Amino acid sequence: MARQSPRDPLSRSEQNAAAVLLTRLLVALLQNAARNPRLLLWLLVAVAVVLLTPLGWYLVQPGTRKADMRAEFSAYWHQPTPAPATANNGGSNGSKEHFHVARQPVRFAEVLGDFWTLYVHPGGSLVPTHATLDDSAPVFGGEPRRAGFPLEIRTLYNTAYTVGYCEALADPVWSAYRVFRLPPDPAKPPRRPGSFFLDGRTQARVEPGDFTGSGYDRGHMTPNYAIASHYSHQAQEETFLLSNICPQRHKLNAGLWAELEARVADNYPTRFGQVWVLVGPVFGPLDRLEKLRDKIAIPRAFYMIIAQKHEGSVRAEAFVVDQEVKSHGNFAPFLTSVGDVERQTGLRFFPDLENAVHDRVASQRPASPW
């Protein structure tokens, strides 16, 4: 049975019931106001303030901003009815068992919150930048660079995502992709491939059988679902290259991590137009790593960084989730700053941003997930 997300919006029947209740309350109020002219006057003033103040504010906004707000509201209104997505678990035994992840559609409260955070009162989370950034690239702000990480990293380019691969660890240390707002009736994603593939570009030569019987799933860094729903079948198949895979506990892979991937793939692009994502492992001391087949390093945790560009400014949020996490639904305990992820990984993210902009973005830890 599909696990229900605490962020699921009200059902259509619940929305209709709420509308009926509000209508009855309004009718009762108007009936009382008709017998009391002073109450009627105050009611009309209150309605005018509630309606005209936001409308007046909206009318004086620049055309591009009004278009962005209309696009988000339209995307919210036309989002498909949420349904669970089925995914092969990539289990260590090579089985075809499936798990269900409840999709994370947008709630109306989130739309209102975005309007306030992004347009009315941006606060300090959005940092202006003059850097030239490629909006179509899978990596935001430039490919991560070593900043204390002692091993060599190779960059592997794929159709819809890019990987920084470490041959010495036989793992990706970062994997980057971009997801964007889909049309109201997107095409159904292609079927999930039935197997994983050796990446012939690597020297480590990790094979699917290296995970068999290990107690770890073959955990995607750039996820299958996000790429399948936004790009081509070929792009989806490339996410099954083992250069994009880390050993990951099944409880995490099929639980909170899958839910976070779904939120980023479904909810964020609907609200923000597009976001960029960096995903990768967090290792313990490199001289004491546990390895599968004496070859594939086992991470102690995983990070996910989401970046957004908005009206010439940027912001980011970051999560670090331990391998042994078994919880569901609540991402807030795992929020951290980009700077903390940099300290734990020895990588520098967004190197193409101005140093001052990078430092401000990296120092921020949101009070709650976007």
Examine the domain organization and report whether 231 and 301 are in the same domain.
yes
Determine the pLDDT at residue 16.
66
141: alpha, beta or left? (left if phi > 0; alpha if psi -120 to 50)? left
CB 336 within 8 A of CB 316: no
Examine the domain organization and report whether 136 and 170 are in the same domain.
yes
- Show the domain range for 358: 75-363
- Residue 35's pLDDT band, with cuts at 50, 70 and 90, is confident
pLDDT in tens, 256-304: 999 999 999 999 999 999 999 999 999 999 999 999 999 999 999 999 9
Please tell me which residue, 31 or 215, carries the higher pLDDT value.
215
Examine the domain organization and report whether 142 and 29 are in the same domain.
no
Instruction: Inform me whether the pLDDT recorded for 328 exceeds 50.
Output: yes
pLDDT in tens, 170-193: 999 999 999 999 988 888 888 889
State the total domains in the chain: 2
Domain at 242, CATH number:
3.40.570.10
Instruction: Inform me whether the pLDDT recorded for 2 exceeds 60.
Output: no
90: alpha, beta or left? (left if phi > 0; alpha if psi -120 to 50)? left
In a domain? residue 215: yes
In a domain? residue 20: yes
Examine the domain organization and report whether 47 and 113 are in the same domain.
no
Examine the domain organization and report whether 80 and 189 are in the same domain.
yes
In a domain? residue 67: no
Examine the domain organization and report whether 41 and 123 are in the same domain.
no
For the residues 304-329, what does the mean pLDDT come to?
95
CB 247 within 8 A of CB 219: yes
Examine the domain organization and report whether 148 and 296 are in the same domain.
yes
In a domain? residue 38: yes
In a domain? residue 68: no
- Residue 105's pLDDT band, with cuts at 50, 70 and 90, is confident
Examine the domain organization and report whether 17 and 98 are in the same domain.
no
What are the phi and psi torsion angles at 90 (to 5°)?
Answer: 60, 30
Determine the pLDDT at residue 177.
98
CB 5 within 8 A of CB 84: no
Q: Where are the alpha helices (DSSP H) in the chain?
A: 12-34, 37-59, 63-77, 108-115, 224-230, 233-238, 250-253, 256-262, 268-272, 338-345, 355-363
In a domain? residue 66: no
Please tell me which residue, 138 or 184, carries the higher pLDDT value.
138
Instruction: Inform me whether the pLDDT recorded for 99 exceeds 70.
Output: no
Examine the domain organization and report whether 180 and 314 are in the same domain.
yes
Examine the domain organization and report whether 260 and 304 are in the same domain.
yes
Determine the pLDDT at residue 32.
73
In a domain? residue 226: yes
Looking at 35, 60, 85, which one is the last position of a domain?
60
Examine the domain organization and report whether 92 and 150 are in the same domain.
yes
Full-model pTM: 0.83
In a domain? residue 55: yes
Instruction: Inform me whether the pLDDT recorded for 30 exceeds 80.
Output: no
Examine the domain organization and report whether 22 and 152 are in the same domain.
no
